[in-house]
Amino acid sequence: MINLETPKKFRMLVEQAHRVAEEIFRPNSRRYDRAEHQYPKELDMLGALLDGMNASGSGEGAGAAGVRRSGDGDTGNRNGSNLATVLGTIELCWGDVGFLLTMPRQGLGNAAIASVATDEQLERFKGKWAAMAITEPHCGSDSAAIRTTARLDGDHYVLNGDKIFVTAGERADLIVVWATLDRNAGRAAIKSFVVEKGTPGLELVRLEHKLGIRASDTAQFALRDCRVPKENLLGDPEIRTDKGFAGVMQTFDNTRPLVAAMGVGLARACLEQTRQLLQQAGVDLDPDRPAYAQHAAAAELLRLEADFEAARLLTLQAAWMADNRKPNSLQASMAKAKAGRSCVEIALKCVELCGALGYAETELLEKWARDAKIIDIFEGTQQIQQLIVARRLLGKTSAELK
């Protein structure tokens, strides 16, 4: 049975993550928002600290790549690395989402490797920073429509295609590329390949200029006869129509709660700042009084806080289920959909409630409102999450419900 209080063994982690957000992320947040594509050097020391914690076995998910598979011997009720990572992510994104996305060796590609790699691959790619390359110019939300091809040629796969919106693409050491072994075989032929930076045929085309999360670089790549050792394929190399898309999609069951956690952390930051500004303006907030009996701004903030709490609880549930080896695809999509939508609405409403202060650069609310939108888009858009939820609840396949 899930306990929604922060587990005692993770309280130090949460406290440390909050301290990092408060002392490193927030003080530098505006600086790197203005200096887009400039790498935050302040993160190097933090990355080294996380590496040391993970190497010693004492690190449990303060960054984006903390998701690990449960061991076969695990029994009973567990609060493991998925929940730890979510709790750490919430605190860090209370500081700055862009900083979290560009933390060294903590990319979403690392989560993909941790989810499906063999023990040999885990050891070989240990200590490397991995980005994830899924989206293509002609297919955004429909990952099954990927056209990047992978052709087996001797001991190598030859990759050809284009990838866009690759988070931390320029800074990462590895790129986890999604490609198809056979376009005619549908979803079952989609596989993920680890491509090392510097591999001939992998070309960085450009870096994107973005609305938000400017501290994080977002890249476009071209793959032209890029030869990747066949040992770099993650998961089963066979095309198995009985399993379909399950192999590569397993990654999302772990990473979508992390993205939801980003939204929860950002939304909490907005709410806390707005509450403080409203109180400074003389607006009293009393959760024990009905909405009609208090200031309209106070009533609206209390409504937003209730919406935030729903997103937070869904996120914790999805992570807890992953730790306890319970199928969580439905809950992961529900959490991501709820947190993405709530995060955007809360950020924009907080800007509105704070008036000129919310819209100006004197407060971080303006920046948070820009950062929020990406939470509702990447790792599967709001619409895609709702479609996945509908399929799960109605028992429909992707072919039956599009």
List residues with catalytic annotation.
379
Question: Which stretches does DSSP call E strand in 107-214?
Answer: 130-133, 149-153, 156-167, 174-180, 190-196, 202-207
Given a contact cutoff of 8 angstroms between Cβ atoms, the answer to whether 190 and 245 are in contact is yes
Structure tokens at 184: 């005619």
What is the Cα–Cα distance from 117 to 111, expressed in whole angstroms?
A: 10
* SS3 state at 28: helix
Rg over CA atoms, the chain? 21
Q: Yes or no: say if 377 and 328 are a contact pair by the CB < 8 Å rule.
A: no
**Which residue from 268, 239, 257, 225 is spatially nearest to 372, judged by alpha carbons?**
268
Task: For 220-247, give the DSSP string.
Answer: EEEEEEEEEEGGGEES--S--TTTTTHH
